[in-house]
Amino acid sequence: MPIERSAILVSAVFLAVAATLAVLPRAEADEMSSEKDLARQAIEMWAGDATIDTSIFAAGYQNHQEPKAGGGRETIDLESWASLVASTHTTFPDLKVEILAQIGEEDRIATYWRFAGTQTGAYLDHPATGGTAAWTGVQIDRIAEGRIAESWVIWDFYSLLRDLGLDMPQ
């Protein structure tokens, strides 16, 4: 079943990231706390009651989404990312964000997260279902000069669709 494989894939990706990152000495791990906080702030902006603060992102920010909600892959700029987050606030106004784990090394922070919310607005040309959905993902942020310069996101789109009773986009 593709939905179950997707959940396994997201978990496997995070485990692979975790396995490839060296275990940091305690002092070095503490030095990464500001970078982890930046990554956490970016992900927490997806919460339904959050404010979008683009000041934590570098000029020229790029966000690589896989899969993009309409299918395929996509790289978007900061303005498009902020618009996507704002539309998610409309679709899932009660969206909750949970940070499950974070790992950092050099200029990268990997964050494993979980989102959950009720679809009260249109999503992918489907009217509101009133259904609740929960999905997980992994985001890897590259930090440069105290700002997020680039993000790579892989998320469990299939669990979201399954929970809402929606079909895959064609």
| pLDDT tens by residue, 131-165 | 999 999 999 999 999 999 999 999 999 999 999 99
Residue range 106-134: mean pLDDT, rounded: 96
Mean residue pLDDT across the chain: 87
Q: Is the confidence at residue 17, as pLDDT, over 60?
A: no
Q: How many domains does the chain have?
A: 1
Residue 141 is assigned to a structural domain of this protein: yes
Residue 40 is assigned to a structural domain of this protein: yes
Q: What strand order describes the sheet that includes 96-105?
A: 74-77, 57-66, 147-155, 132-144, 108-118, 96-105
- Output the pLDDT for position 24: 44
Residue range 95-110: mean pLDDT, rounded: 97
What CATH number does residue 141 fall under? 3.10.450.50
Q: pLDDT above 90 covers what percent of the chain?
A: 72
H/E element, 143? strand 132-144
Gap between the Cα atoms of 74 and 134, Å rounded: 22
pTM over 0.85: no
CB atoms within 10 A of CB 161: 21
Q: Is the confidence at residue 23, as pLDDT, over 50?
A: no
- Domain extent, residue 28, equals 2-164
Q: Is the confidence at residue 58, as pLDDT, over 50?
A: yes
Residue 79 is assigned to a structural domain of this protein: yes
Residue 169 is assigned to a structural domain of this protein: no
Residue range 25-43: mean pLDDT, rounded: 80
- Output the pLDDT for position 30: 60
Residue 170 is assigned to a structural domain of this protein: no
Residue 130 is assigned to a structural domain of this protein: yes
Residue 16 is assigned to a structural domain of this protein: yes
- Output the pLDDT for position 6: 52
Residue 8 is assigned to a structural domain of this protein: yes
